[in-house]
C-alpha cells in the first residue's frame, strides 16, 4: 500500500518510517516493543504500543515541504495487586478487626495491638 505520491511514484509507508530520523525511530519502536512483550510475559496481562506520527508544514507554512516525526509509546501492564480487607467504624475510619465482634480473651494483650 502506498501513501505519498511524488512525480507519479508512490512511496511506501514503511519506507517513510525507515527514513524518519535515519531509521532511529524504527530502532526505538523495536526496543520498546520488546520491553512491552517482556512485561506482558511477566504479568500475563494486556499492554499497549502506540506510534504517533506528526506531520507539519515546513518553514513559513510551506506545505510542499513537510516535517515528519514519530514518537513510540508503550503502556506496560501492571501486575495484579490484591486488595486488603478493612472494616469501617462509626467515626468513618478503617480498622483491621471487626468493631462489631467482641474480642476473645486469649492471644495478644490489648496493649500489644
* DSSP element (H, E) containing 100: none
12-33 core/surface letters (b: 16 or more CB in 10 A; e: else) = eeeeebeeeeeeebbeebeebe
Per-position pLDDT tens, the chain of length 113? 445 555 667 778 999 999 999 999 999 999 999 999 999 999 999 999 999 999 999 888 888 899 999 999 999 999 888 999 999 999 999 999 998 888 888 866 555 55
Q: Which residues pair with 72 in a beta bridge?
A: 51
β-strands 48-57, 2-6: how paired? Answer: unpaired
List the one residue out of 67, 73, 72 whose CA is nearest residue 55.
67
pTM of the predicted model, to two decimals?
0.62
Amino acid at each position: 500500500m502506498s501513501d505519498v505520491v511524488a512525480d507519479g511514484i508512490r512511496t511506501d509507508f514503511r519506507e517513510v518510517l525507515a527514513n524518519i530520523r535515519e531509521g532511529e525511530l524504527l530502532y526505538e519502536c523495536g526496543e520498546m516493543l520488546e520491553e512491552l512483550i517482556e512485561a506482558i510475559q511477566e504479568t500475563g496481562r494486556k499492554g499497549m504500543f502506540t506510534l504517533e506520527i506528526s506531520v507539519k508544514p515546513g518553514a513559513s507554512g510551506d506545505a510542499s515541504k513537510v516535517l515528519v516525526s514519530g514518537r513510540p509509546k508503550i503502556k506496560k501492564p501492571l501486575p495484579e495487586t490484591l486488595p486488603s480487607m478493612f472494616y469501617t467504624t462509626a467515626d468513618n475510619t478503617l480498622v483491621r478487626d471487626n468493631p462489631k465482634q467482641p474480642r476473645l480473651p486469649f492471644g495478644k494483650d490489648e496493649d500489644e495491638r
